[in-house]
Structure 1
């Protein structure tokens, strides 16, 4: 289509328009001395238009212009920022050359005017800006990537070292990516294992914000705190109980030990079966909960625990449970020791489940040997009773557990009953609050022997005060009165061990062991 302006203009009209423009705008457009040159150019243009040699704008010209602009926008926003700098410059040069070539081809070959001059000028100005900005973004992204890689590695190191709070801080500084999400999940599992349930819940919630479909983070974000911990409010034990999940990777941990199940409860708190993952050794882990320790006494309890644990750890005797490790968590301290297959002698302290008398003598003699060894190391047990004597029936061996723990536990004035010790097995001087020596352990072992032989306690009462009065002042029934078939050595050994006055008992636990072995040989022919 021919430009309609070409049919309207002719030379007279063009000259008239030029004259008016020269009068009105000439001084602002060009200097007056160049007016003749401007008139010549305008006259030449008007003559060309009158002769039909002007450029035409096709009907589809505006659509083509819109399409070219859209291509230019895509070039600026999408294509140029993506590749490297050299590739982007090459693409920009090819694009500019293509636009310019297309314009020249349309003008020279088809006398068509495609209004893309503004677009070409805009590209010439904006492309360098886009390239510089894209390079800056790539440089910044590379720096952030290097920082995140360093933080991720540091978080992994802290996680392996058990420094979970620092690992969480480093991880949450990183930009989201699959590696960060996976390490964050491992962090949450360890927090859950370490019973840091509030921290684990926060980590799961953070992971759910990154990727709510990643594994089970959405479920865990709302359930881990309430489903993983249960509090036992027993007035005597007052300990926190772990709810052990079936999945191995979520099993709680105490220190480096993976907790498998609860074994029982004692004066210290809860006892767990654990595994040392480094050497695949099963251990019994006894805990001392801080829950019922008065705040002003807590530091003293901790110091005594670790001091006594250090002393106990130096004991090496076949009839003493070996202590491998001690550690501390925010709410408790713990001691990892031998796990003995079997049960305590508490099971055999009832009338319907008594052991043979000769077996009782042998086992109590082993306990006496262990006490004699400990007393020579200036360590008093203070809580000898059937529940602290672990019996390995297969090897006919007994091991004494909890050396030195009673001294730690009974230091807290907030505990009563069994937490103070076991009044039934405590010596008169211990109940009176007097100085406790090895003679007190001999008394407790005498009470234990009494119960293992008869299935009954020497004293009984509904109140601790009355029980303590009986232990201090009353004489108990003879073991042969309760079980007439016992040999004569039984009441003799029991009565001497349970004498009210410490100096009337055996001079040492070793002397008691010797008396038991002589009775074994005399009464049963066992040497």
Structure 2
């Protein structure tokens, strides 16, 4: 490792110039080292036989000034290129050489050159390295322990947010008990209670009680959880789910007022059918969700309430880039949403190498999705599950539609009654993974991940386990998209990088600005294509195009 690579020694040319001038200024104006020079003078002259009275020649200050300047140049430009070992050895050698030169001049030539200050400057890097090692060595294990504890807490919160409560509890138990951890465990125990897993809630409350027996209302909750483990849940008899009806396209079965015609596909929470409203003759896409088979107990009541609330909010959205919701209902334990039937297909097939769409088309699609999200966010609706599978594109009509608004919220982050996460968190923002409050900027992060994938055919983060993937998304900076596809223009790479910032404050704050930047980029690309083969005057005008401003 060179001095330039060390955390305490980041020397660039501009810093080098500053160091040089600082050294010269100190040599010229400060008398701080006058006492040390006098001490060295008294020490050296005692060795002359007989003792002599050395004097400083008229050119002595010039020599000291030159030595200081050379020391500054060495520190600013030579030292950063050396390894730590060589730098220490050379610096100590120079210090010894300069002091021996002054000692020789005093004892042999009776001349006083005053070189203590440049010698001290040469020894400063060695002193800095020694001090750095002295301080860093005992702190390193502490820092590693703190980082490990923070990672465990972050992963525990992320797993809890995804409904994997047992794994979250295991993570929390690895950490030393603190008031902060006790608060985290308290909310985890309450999540267990909501799932009617009172044995686990009892264990969590007991874990807290061992640390602080009077923490909040833990004694009361512990007693209630212990009592609940001795009897069946009170809601079990009244919330036993009805078997959801088996719908097949061959049966021509009706759901509500809609008659099933054919199966369109299968989603994470149920089937999607092409159906017809006989009253007005309109064909709709009927998305079914077997809530009674996915949730139970109090969770079923909560999920049903969210279902109608979020579907109603999404149904208020009227935008050409958003699939319209016409109706919502529930029959025999099967909930359904009747929505606009859209031709074309989702973008998932275009996320693989060899099947990528042309770059201008990708930019145009994502810009229109950004406009749709901007409209939804203004109406206080957050999608929470932006991904290629939820964006429909019709190549014939060049139509883009965002679908499944509110579905992620209805299913509470895709948690099932068993706590299993449906799918992977590839498109989730860091704040969504860690259970923090999300807003429209979380949707824009997911859109940035989708744009990354549509451009290169790969996701920005890869891992072998969900836990590893969540940790990378939450902590590691996103790679430059040009590492995967070098021909991507710099302006577009900057847009992707801004979308994938860890901090929401550093991302695009609104979809309108993102859509504008993407549109400007597409215009520049088109202008560049139009300029090829044009007259010299047109090419000059093309080169004068104003670059994209990525500021908010």
Normalised by the length of structure 1, the TM-score is 0.52
The answer to whether the 8 Å contact 2:249/2:262 transfers is: yes
Pair 1:417–1:499, CA change in 2 (3 A)? farther
Corresponding residue of 2:539: none
How far the C-alpha of 1:417 sits from its partner, in A, is 5.6
Residue 353 of structure 1 aligns to a residue in which SS? coil
How far the C-alpha of 1:422 sits from its partner, in A, is 4.4
* 2: CA distance, partners of 1:416 / 1:354: 35
* 2: CA distance, partners of 1:252 / 1:489: 53
Corresponding residue of 2:269: 268
* 2: CA distance, partners of 1:315 / 1:253: 27
Corresponding residue of 1:381: 383
1:284 equivalenced with 2:279 (yes/no) = no
* 2: CA distance, partners of 1:360 / 1:464: 28
The answer to whether the 8 Å contact 1:417/1:464 transfers is: no
Corresponding residue of 1:414: 417
How far the C-alpha of 1:449 sits from its partner, in A, is 0.3
Residue 461 of structure 2 aligns to a residue in which SS? coil
How far the C-alpha of 1:379 sits from its partner, in A, is 0.6
Residue 426 of structure 2 aligns to a residue in which SS? helix
Pair 1:496–1:422, CA change in 2 (3 A)? same
* 2: CA distance, partners of 1:495 / 1:415: 36
Out of 325, 328, 340, the residue aligned to residue 327 of structure 2 is 325
Deviation by residue 1:160-195 (Cα, 9 ceiling, x = unmatched): xxxxxxxxxxxxxxxxxxxxxxxxxxxxxxxxxxxx
Q: Which structure is higher in RCO with an 8 Å CA cutoff and minimum separation 6?
A: 2
Corresponding residue of 2:356: 354
1:244 equivalenced with 2:249 (yes/no) = yes
How far the C-alpha of 1:490 sits from its partner, in A, is 2.2
* 2: CA distance, partners of 1:398 / 1:418: 28
CA RMSD of aligned residues (A): 2.0
Pair 1:455–1:505, CA change in 2 (3 A)? same
Corresponding residue of 1:472: 474
The answer to whether the 8 Å contact 1:260/1:272 transfers is: yes
What does 1:491-510 align with in structure 2 at a 5 Å threshold?
491-510=493-512
Deviation by residue 1:287-342 (Cα, 9 ceiling, x = unmatched): 12120212221111111111111111111000000001111012221101111111
Count residues with an aligned counterpart: 285
What does 1:309-320 align with in structure 2 at a 5 Å threshold?
309-320=311-322
* 1: CA distance, partners of 2:503 / 2:455: 23
* 1: CA distance, partners of 2:275 / 2:491: 42
The answer to whether the 8 Å contact 1:268/1:405 transfers is: no
The answer to whether the 8 Å contact 1:362/1:517 transfers is: yes
Out of 436, 439, 446, the residue aligned to residue 448 of structure 2 is 446
Out of 462, 465, 481, the residue aligned to residue 463 of structure 1 is 465
Corresponding residue of 2:50: none
How far the C-alpha of 1:362 sits from its partner, in A, is 0.5
How far the C-alpha of 1:365 sits from its partner, in A, is 0.5
* 1: CA distance, partners of 2:383 / 2:337: 16
Pair 1:390–1:239, CA change in 2 (3 A)? farther
How far the C-alpha of 1:408 sits from its partner, in A, is 1.2
* 1: CA distance, partners of 2:419 / 2:298: 18
The answer to whether the 8 Å contact 2:244/2:332 transfers is: no
The answer to whether the 8 Å contact 1:241/1:270 transfers is: no
Structure 2: stretches of 5+ with no match in the other structure: 1-242, 531-552
How far the C-alpha of 1:460 sits from its partner, in A, is 1.8
Pair 1:483–1:502, CA change in 2 (3 A)? same
Deviation by residue 1:342-363 (Cα, 9 ceiling, x = unmatched): 1101111111211111001111
* 2: CA distance, partners of 1:324 / 1:440: 27
Corresponding residue of 2:526: 524
Pair 1:239–1:357, CA change in 2 (3 A)? farther
How far the C-alpha of 1:279 sits from its partner, in A, is 2.2
Deviation by residue 1:367-395 (Cα, 9 ceiling, x = unmatched): 00000000001110000000000111111
Pair 1:241–1:466, CA change in 2 (3 A)? farther
The answer to whether the 8 Å contact 2:245/2:332 transfers is: no
* 1: CA distance, partners of 2:468 / 2:247: 36
How far the C-alpha of 1:410 sits from its partner, in A, is 2.1
The answer to whether the 8 Å contact 1:479/1:490 transfers is: no
* 1: CA distance, partners of 2:420 / 2:523: 40
How far the C-alpha of 1:517 sits from its partner, in A, is 0.5
* 2: CA distance, partners of 1:470 / 1:295: 35
Out of 427, 431, 434, the residue aligned to residue 432 of structure 1 is 434
